[in-house]
């Protein structure tokens, strides 16, 4: 018994046990249960198989929701990745002792609880009290129905998500940048590479994995976002800003059709699973290449 | 790596000569500062506006005669009202209690697991390592309803401890991932030496790895802290009485009365709720970066 | 109420017969009771409720605990969903309009509480009956706490300048005026451009939350427009619906451009900020204006909504108290609820919140509080529907079967139709085709 307990794999398994219990009990089990729920009828008295999924796929509004979720997630993640990359580089240029204050200021959007900062944004967009519109009016420009017109409302939710998420990208990229050995840049500089050359042939290859992982992580979280849309627009105007989570909420909780809400949420899974399959495959392939090199 | 460097070499031959390096550096520096300045300005517009609003009375907010960006008659009344409000204090304490427990629990779970996954290969360990990260694929909005049942069965409806149970699902995967990366970056020689000295696995973890991996642990801790302090959906769903409520939801449910908003107080409350994470980041930022640097690149 | 119908007599007889029963239960009422009640926007409302309930609890030796659960962010809806799923929670919950229907399988029949109340106080608001009486049984007790009408809340000065004296039209006394017959949707449409020019565009939401849905629902009723009829047939492709849409197409250009994103607070803010001459809302907007922007508050008058060809409809959004079938102390809960629905208690609560709460029993629309509140004095006198208003309470989606109507309401089908046409630029034909498809989904 004692020897068994000291065997490496046993110890390792025991160390992983809390994690396995947590994931199994509070993620996998409820997820399976939710999948079961998604296959019931509205009153949850009858098993209908894939009926709910089929039903959703036939609804024009649901097509809109799928399109908007993808639009929102892809645009916001792209914006965050680009801005985060830019900021990390700007930050990397300035001397280390000055970085602290700048980093601190730029991290604030990420640090403030999202629900509360979104309320602040919402107040900035309010039809009657919008401080942005006040500025526009002062400048003689026409005021903007920030959350009232489809284009603007979509822009606003992407803007708020970008504002919130960019600092996280910046920090991750900055961490990755710092871990690129300085000799590589020096070698590139000696070879006469300019900023563009360094970026293309040193920074990007070195950061590729961290970029992939951060993008994947953010894609997942952004896809599943609830707070921003719920507080800013709640799906309006005309359902043109609904994304999976808010639509699922409206179906499941507000309209009392829990199975349909669960089915809506479940649609996120395959989309994200495919995305993560490709991203993670790329990551592990590069890992192997690097190990081999 | 070597491929990248040689590629850089071939690219370099194509480039023309560049002007004085020192001058170029200075320009780059100024450029970076001004660009950062612009970004900081843009990033801080909403917090600034929240601050301005929090210093106004409701009357000043609604009359709209002066610029919304300035305060005509600054007052701290909103802050004092909240501080002297029993409910608000209890939200704060609940948030603190939940967050401390969640961070501790998450760190124990993820450090133990990450160590095992990074250092002690066993059957299924690589699957588990990837699988942990993939739990994020399952959206909150899906788990929402099943959690009702689990919490109900456990008798934890309207109980802040239910949050201590649920939040780790949000924090642990990312923390584990950071820690796997960090542990993996520690040279192999270290554990070989320890094993020769006859140390057990646990001793090795506590005596050698945890002290060495402190930056990674701090980075993961900060992440767990941010997640659990700012979490919104779960407390919105599972807590309703003010003695169990946490800050994020408490501010919204207590200060917004049906269709009447007390904007000054909402903003004051939000800023006070944002203060603890801001302070923590301000002090621990350097560790955060250092921890991510090692953890992120190897993950 | 003066005429004593045969049914009322019978009802009264039934009530007397059941009275002793109630008393027997009273004696047995003991133990613990947990309540999840609506968190009133007027803080005094919670305090008054607590005082009344604690008084009852002391007398009946019941240990009561009350949680006031806000409707902000649909917190009450989520809590109810949580309790239904977990099959544990409060004994009594406050259900928002449609939730009685959504949770009918988990609710205890309340006929033995409601029937005596009807016998004693007469007719219940028909909307309550539509929402809570399912399969011939009351599954929840109509509550006054949080129950509201959404009548016109208008700026006296603007309407006077535009030639309509709203105070003369709906004076603060029991009197039907000839002027009030002129308050039609057509009249409102004529005034809308004037308001827009004066920088006071009507703040009538076309978003997806209750205020918007309720207003458009009442308008549709005024035209006799039903998306789905009482038999559950889809009737969206009909002349009345087209007329209502045409009306909205004419009105929408004169509303603020943001109306499509309005939530339940945006219209309040439009009025309070002095940027709007008319909203459809309970007097909460006026009350906040009095607190925060007094000149506007003193210039507000509340009166029923405009009328259409089919009559005058005032949006009504009620709360009900229900008891979970898995509740632990049903008898005490029923006892408390019938106590809370007595006129004295309803009036005390209504007075504490300056008349915001609307009693579900029509005979109680005569409390003093609505005549006494100001400024200006009598501003909310016409907030409850008075017999001489010739108005009907309305809820969007009625008369469709409630399990379809709930989706029409919560998915905001009507406002979305209007918005697709007026904001999205779609033709009426396309909009109706879209609605048809959507409604077919609801009837599955």
Q: What is the pLDDT of residues B80-122, one digit of tens each?
A: 988 888 888 999 999 999 999 999 999 999 999 998 888 877 7
Range of weakest confidence among A209-218, C16-25, C218-227: C16-25
Say if residue C281 is in the same domain as residue C423: yes
pLDDT score recorded for residue A75: 95
pLDDT band at C14; cut points 50, 70, 90:
very low
CB C20 within 8 A of CB C329: no
| B151 to C40: CB separation less than 8 angstroms, yes or no | no
- Note whether C92 and C172 are same-domain residues: no
Whole-number pLDDT of residue C3: 43
Burial class (CB in 10 A: 0-12, 13-18, 19+), C92: buried
The enclosing H or E element of A52 equals: helix A51-57
User: Are residues B235 and B144 in contact, defined by beta-carbon separation less than 8 angstroms?
Assistant: no
Pair C304, C166 in one domain? yes
**Residue C19 predicted with pLDDT over 50:** no
Does C128 reach chain B within 8 Å, measured CB to CB?
no
Q: Which chains touch B (3 or more CB pairs under 8 A)?
A: A, C
Is residue C100 less than 8 Å (CB to CB) from chain A?
A: no
Across the range C134-147, mean pLDDT stands at 94
The candidate with the shortest Cα–Cα distance to A161, out of A89, A220, A271, A73, is: A73
Tokens standing for residue C396: 């969007």
**Cα–Cα distance, C405 to C220 (Å, whole number):** 14
Digit-coded pLDDT (tens) for B148-161? 888 888 888 888 99
Are A238 and C424 a contacting pair at CB < 8 A?
A: yes
One domain for residues C198 and C322: no
Q: What's the whole-number mean pLDDT along residues C198-212?
A: 92
For position C6, what pLDDT does the model report?
Answer: 44
Question: Is a pLDDT exceeding 60 seen at residue C39?
Answer: yes
Residue of A24, A85, A108 best to disrupt the B interface, most CBs of B under 10 A: A108
Judge whether A36 is closer than 8 Å to chain B, CB to CB. Answer: no
Percent of chain B with pLDDT over 70: 88
User: Quick one: which H or E segment has residue A252?
Assistant: none
CATH number, domain at A272?
Answer: 1.10.3720.10
The reply to whether C371 falls in a domain is no
Q: Are C69 and C76 a contacting pair, CB within 8 Å? A: yes
Domain of C139: which CATH number?
A: 3.40.190.10
Contact (CB, 8 A) for C154 and C277: yes
Domain count, chain C: 2
Residue B287's Cα: distance from chain center in Å? Answer: 14
Give the whole-angstrom CA distance, residue A184 versus residue A190.
10
Contacts with A, C 380-409, CB within 8 Å: 406-407
CA dihedral sign, ordered C193, C196, C200, C201:
positive
Determine whether the interchain pair A60/C261 forms a contact, defined as Cβ–Cβ distance below 8 Å: no
Helices (H), C1-74: 6-28, 43-60
Residue A137 touches partner B, C-beta closer than 8 Å: no
Specify if A207 maps to a domain: yes
Nearest CB to A179: which of B267, B273, B293? Answer: B293
Question: What pLDDT is attached to residue B6?
Answer: 43
For residue A271, what are the domain limits?
58-292
Q: Are residues C426 and C341 in the same domain?
A: no
**Six-digit token pair at B88?**
């608000």
Tell me how many domains chain A contains: 1
pLDDT digits (tens, 9 = 90+) for B168-190: 999 999 899 888 888 888 887 87
3-state secondary structure C189-216: HHHHHHHHHCCCCCCCCCCCCHHHHHHH
pLDDT, tens digit, 9 for 90 and up, residues A178-223: 878 888 878 888 888 777 888 888 888 888 888 888 898 899 889 8
With beta carbons under 8 A apart, name residues in chain A contacting C103. Answer: 256
Interface contact C93, partner B, CB < 8 A: no
- Does residue A52 lie within any of the structural domains? no
Closest Cβ opposite residue A27 in set B45, B116, B135:
B135
Mean pLDDT of all residues in C321-340: 93
C1 occurs within a structural domain: no
Among A31, A115, A217, beta carbon nearest to B232? A115
Q: What is the pLDDT of residues C60-96, one digit of tens each?
A: 999 999 988 888 778 888 888 888 888 888 999 999 9
For the entire predicted model, the pTM comes to: 0.84
Whether residues C185 and C266 share a domain: the answer is yes
CA B164 to centroid of chain Cα atoms: 16
The residues that bridge with C315 in the sheet, in sequence order, are: C394
In this predicted structure, the answer to whether residue B217 has a pLDDT above a threshold of 60 is yes
Task: Judge if C170 and C301 occupy the same domain.
Answer: yes
The range of the structural domain enclosing residue C203 comes to 149-315+376-442
Looking at the structure, do residues C35 and C97 belong to the same domain, yes or no? Answer: yes
Contacts of B91 (CB under 8 A, 6+ apart): B242, B245, B246, B247, B250, B251, B254
What is the C-alpha separation between C99 and A286, in angstroms, rounded? Answer: 54
Please identify which residue in the block is written with the tokens 């001793």. Answer: B203
The model's pLDDT over C177-193, given as tens digits with 9 standing for 90+, comes to 999 999 999 999 999 99
Low-confidence ranges of chain A (pLDDT < 70): 1-6, 287-293
Q: Please determine, for residue C131, whether its predicted confidence score (pLDDT) is greater than 90.
A: yes
What is the rounded CA–CA span in Å between residue A242 and residue C28?
51
Beta bridge partners of B261: B256
Token digits of residue C292: 């925060």
Look at residue C292 in the predicted model and tell me its pLDDT: 82
B151–C69 CB contact, under 8 Å: no
Interchain contact, A253 vs C81, CB within 8 Å: yes
Q: Give strand pairing partners of A130.
A: none
Q: Are B133 and A262 in contact (CB under 8 A)?
A: no
């Amino acid at each position: 018994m004692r020897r068994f307990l000291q065997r490496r794999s046993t110890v390792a398994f025991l160390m992983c046990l809390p994690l396995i219990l947590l994931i199994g009990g509070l993620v996998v089990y409820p997820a399976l249960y939710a999948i079961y729920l998604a296959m019931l009828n509205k009153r949850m008295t009858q098993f209908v198989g894939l009926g709910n999924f089929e039903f959703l796929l036939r609804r024009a509004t649901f097509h809109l929701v799928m399109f908007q979720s993808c639009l929102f997630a892809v645009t916001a993640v792209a914006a965050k990745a680009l801005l985060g990359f830019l900021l990390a580089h700007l930050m990397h240029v300035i001397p280390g002792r000055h970085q602290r204050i700048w980093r601190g200021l730029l991290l604030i959007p990420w640090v403030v609880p999202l629900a509360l900062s979104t309320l602040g944004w919402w107040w900035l967009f309010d039809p009657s009290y919008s401080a942005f519109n006040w500025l526009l009016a002062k400048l003689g420009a026409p005021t903007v129905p920030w959350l009232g017109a489809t284009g603007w409302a979509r822009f606003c939710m992407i803007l708020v998500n970008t504002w919130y998420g960019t600092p996280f990208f910046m920090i991750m990229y900055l961490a990755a940048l710092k871990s690129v050995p300085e000799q590589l840049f020096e070698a590139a500089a000696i070879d006469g590479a300019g900023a563009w050359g360094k970026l293309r042939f040193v920074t990007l290859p070195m950061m590729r994995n961290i970029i992939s992982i951060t993008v994947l992580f953010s894609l997942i979280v952004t896809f599943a976002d609830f707070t921003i849309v719920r507080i800013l627009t709640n799906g309006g105007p005309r359902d043109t800003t609904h994304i999976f989570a808010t639509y699922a909420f409206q179906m499941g909780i507000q309209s009392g059709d829990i199975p349909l809400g669960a089915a809506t949420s479940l649609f996120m899974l395959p989309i994200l699973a495919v995305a993560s399959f490709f991203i993670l495959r790329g990551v592990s392939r590069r890992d192997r290449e690097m190990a081999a090199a | 790596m070597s491929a990248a460097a040689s590629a850089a070499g071939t690219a370099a031959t194509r480039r023309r000569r560049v002007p004085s390096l020192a001058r170029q550096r200075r320009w780059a520096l100024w450029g970076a500062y001004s660009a950062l300045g612009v970004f900081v300005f843009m990033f801080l517009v909403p917090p600034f506006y929240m601050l301005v609003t929090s210093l106004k009375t409701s009357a000043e907010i609604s009359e709209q005669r002066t610029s919304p960006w300035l305060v005509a008659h600054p007052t701290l009344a909103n802050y004092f009202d909240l501080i002297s409000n029993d409910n608000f204090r209890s939200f704060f304490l609940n948030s603190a209690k939940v967050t401390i427990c969640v961070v501790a629990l998450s760190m124990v779970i993820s450090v133990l697991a990450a160590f095992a996954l990074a250092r002690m290969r066993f059957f299924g360990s690589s699957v588990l390592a990837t699988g942990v990260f993939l739990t994020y694929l399952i959206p909150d909005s899906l788990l929402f309803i099943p959690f009702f049942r689990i919490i109900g069965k456990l008798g934890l409806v309207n109980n802040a401890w239910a949050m201590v149970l649920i939040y780790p699902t949000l924090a642990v995967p990312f923390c584990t991932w950071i820690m796997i990366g960090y542990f993996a970056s520690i040279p192999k020689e270290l554990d070989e030496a320890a094993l020769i000295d006859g140390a057990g696995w646990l001793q090795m973890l506590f005596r050698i790895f945890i002290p060495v991996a402190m930056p990674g642990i701090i980075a993961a801790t900060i992440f767990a802290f941010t997640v659990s302090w700012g979490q919104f959906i779960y407390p919105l769903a599972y807590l309703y009485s003010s003695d169990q409520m946490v800050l994020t939801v408490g501010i919204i449910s207590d200060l917004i009365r049906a269709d009447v908003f007390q904007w000054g107080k909402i903003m004051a409350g939000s800023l006070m709720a944002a203060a603890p994470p801001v302070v923590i980041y301000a002090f621990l930022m350097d560790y955060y970066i250092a921890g991510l640097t090692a953890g992120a690149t190897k993950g | 109420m003066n005429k004593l119908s045969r049914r009322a007599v019978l009802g009264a007889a039934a009530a007397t017969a059941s009275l002793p029963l109630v008393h027997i239960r009273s004696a047995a009422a003991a133990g613990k009771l947990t309540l999840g009640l609506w968190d009133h926007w007027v803080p005094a409302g919670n305090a008054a409720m607590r005082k009344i309930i604690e008084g009852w609890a002391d007398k009946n030796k019941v240990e009561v605990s009350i949680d006031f659960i806000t409707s902000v962010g649909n917190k009450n809806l989520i809590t109810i969903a949580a309790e239904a799923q977990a099959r544990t929670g409060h004994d009594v919950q406050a259900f928002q309009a449609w939730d009685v229907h959504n949770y009918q399988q988990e609710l205890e029949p309340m006929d033995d509480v409601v029937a005596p109340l009807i016998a004693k106080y007469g007719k219940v608001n028909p909307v309550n009956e539509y929402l809570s009486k399912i399969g011939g049984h009351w599954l929840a007790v109509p509550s006054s706490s949080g129950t509201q009408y959404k009548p016109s809340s208008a700026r006296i000065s603007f309407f006077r300048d535009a030639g309509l004296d709203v105070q003369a039209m709906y004076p603060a006394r029991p009197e039907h005026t000839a002027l009030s017959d002129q308050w039609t949707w057509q009249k409102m449409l004529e005034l809308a451009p004037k308001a827009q020019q004066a920088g006071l565009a009507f703040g009538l939401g076309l978003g997806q939350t209750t205020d918007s849905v309720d207003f458009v629902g009442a308008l549709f009723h005024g035209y006799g427009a039903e998306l789905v009829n009482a038999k559950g047939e889809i009737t969206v492709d009909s002349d009345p619906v087209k007329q209502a849409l045409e009306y909205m197409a004419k009105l929408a250009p004169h509303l603020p451009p943001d109306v499509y994103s309005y939530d339940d607070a945006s219209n309040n803010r439009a009025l309070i900020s002095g940027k709007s001459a008319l909203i459809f809302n309970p007097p909460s907007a006026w009350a906040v204006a009095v607190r925060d922007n007094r000149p506007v508050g003193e210039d507000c008058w509340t009166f029923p909504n405009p009328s259409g060809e089919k009559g005058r409809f005032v949006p009504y959004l009620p709360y009900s108290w229900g008891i979970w079938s898995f509740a632990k102390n049903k008898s005490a809960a029923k006892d408390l609820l019938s106590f809370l629905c007595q006129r004295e208690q309803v009036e005390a609560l209504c007075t504490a919140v300056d008349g915001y709460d609307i009693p579900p029993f029509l005979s109680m629309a005569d409390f003093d509080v609505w005549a006494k509140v100001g400024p200006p004095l009598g501003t909310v006198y016409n907030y409850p529907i008075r017999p001489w208003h010739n108005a009907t309470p309305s809820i969007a989606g009625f008369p469709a079967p409630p399990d379809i109507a709930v989706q029409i309401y919560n998915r905001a089908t009507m406002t979305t139709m209007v918005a697709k046409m007026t904001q999205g630029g779609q033709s009426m034909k396309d909009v109706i085709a879209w609605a048809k498809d959507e409604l077919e989904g609801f009837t599955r």
